[in-house]
Amino acid sequence: MTPLPVNGLETLPRYSAGSHELDGITTPIVLSANENPRGPSPKAVAAIQDHAADVHRYPNGNPEDLKAAIIDRYDLAAHQGEVILGAGSDEILSLLAKGFASAGKTVMMSQYGFLMYPIAAKAAGAEIQSIPEQNYLADVEAILAAVTEDTALIFLANPNNPTGSYLNQTEITRLYQGLPDHVLLVLDGAYSEYVDRADYSDHHDLVASGRVVVTHTFSKAHGLAGLRLGWAFAPPAIADIYERLRSPFNINALSIKAGIAALADQTYLEETVRLNAEQRARLQQSLAELAINVLPSVGNFLLLDFGSREAASNAEKTLLKGGIIVRGMTGYGLPHCLRLTIGLPEENTAVLQALKQIAP
Ligand SMILES: Cc1ncc(COP(=O)(O)O)c(C=O)c1O
């Protein structure tokens, strides 16, 4: 008999990432993974170069300088909680599921939530429960109604990937207040830097309750996806479990230096957010003029609804022919949609030119 995996892991779905390669095209336009099309801050690049020769040394397993920079930039001193670090926020999501869910427990997510949530839940041995959305928006009422004493954890991305929608402060507060004390609410703020709405909050204030964690990443607005650096603001008791579970050197030495440099370059971040908002508005308007249905988005990506699987697949083929890679949405249960990362102005021009060919 061969060794058997636990928890039915042989049926665990594998995460399928947005593609970066296109046969026959050396430099395709990659708009498939919600990365920062401007790249990282030059200051982050310089920090990586400055420390490249030091990588024979183990990293600092508890980089207080990076944590202090995060606390400073995200105004966390005003709130009660601790910063934890992960190899991408993916690692934090997975270890929170491992630490707080198990066989016999349920992890809840919204219908079109991020695909890592079911993987993290099932890897921990827990059941995943997906709550139907209303108009591509998480339904607070339905989530609260579905909670039982077996509900261990709720993953909620705000803004959500791939829909681009968000719940305002009132709705998040209603969700938090309606949850019983035994449920850990994980608010995933991977795209929070991009949101420019007055009624949005990343809700670091709720962490003081002891039952809310807010996760963030350097992979999106900070342009460091390849380094794998994520963080979360967590209650001390939850941070303590995380610190016991993580491997001692989960954050690599270059990401510590690059993360600090990226946080110090606020001008670069602001320009990233400004350009994204400008190009998001431009694409929304131009796509509407092509009679393509675009969902409202507060993130760095747009969900395009082509009405049918065939039409979406046709649009994807047309884009690929133009050297443009977007993200098919079949894995998310949205085969009639494509997700488009907002690119540089010239990349977006190429997208619009390609899509003009299929406009009715
Ligand atoms: C909603 C959401 N959360 C978390 C992540 C994970 O990001 P990372 O592991 O790069 O921090 C992503 C990445 O696409 C995401 O879309």
Ligand 1 centre to CA of 229 (Å) is: 10
Residue 331 is predicted with a pLDDT of 93
Residues with pLDDT less than 70, the chain: 360
Q: Which fold has domain 42-265?
A: Aspartate Aminotransferase; domain 2 (3.40.640)
Give the largest Cα separation in the chain, rounded.
62
The pLDDT tens digits of the residues spanning 116-127 come to 999 999 999 999
Ligand 1 centre to CA of 52 (Å) is: 26
What is the C-alpha to C-alpha distance for residues 86 and 234, in angstroms, rounded to an integer?
Answer: 13
For tokens 């430099």, what's the residue? 27
- Give the pocket of ligand 1 (CB within 6 Å): 34, 88-90, 114, 157, 161, 188, 190, 217, 219, 225, 230
Ligand 1 centre to CA of 217 (Å) is: 7
Domain boundaries, the chain: 9-40+267-356, 42-265
Q: Ligand 1: which of 114, 158, 194 to mutate, judged by most atoms within 8 Å of the beta carbon?
A: 114
153 in helix, strand or coil?
Answer: strand
What is the C-alpha to C-alpha distance for residues 332 and 315, in angstroms, rounded to an integer?
Answer: 18
Instruction: Tell me the pTM.
Output: 0.97
Among the atoms of ligand 1, which is closest to the Cα of residue 34?
Answer: 14
Q: Which amino acid is at 11?
A: T
CATH architecture for the domain at 9-40+267-356? Alpha-Beta Complex (3.90)
Q: How many CB atoms lie within 10 A of CB 219?
A: 22
What is the C-alpha to C-alpha distance for residues 134 and 342, in angstroms, rounded to an integer?
Answer: 25
Residue 360 is predicted with a pLDDT of 63
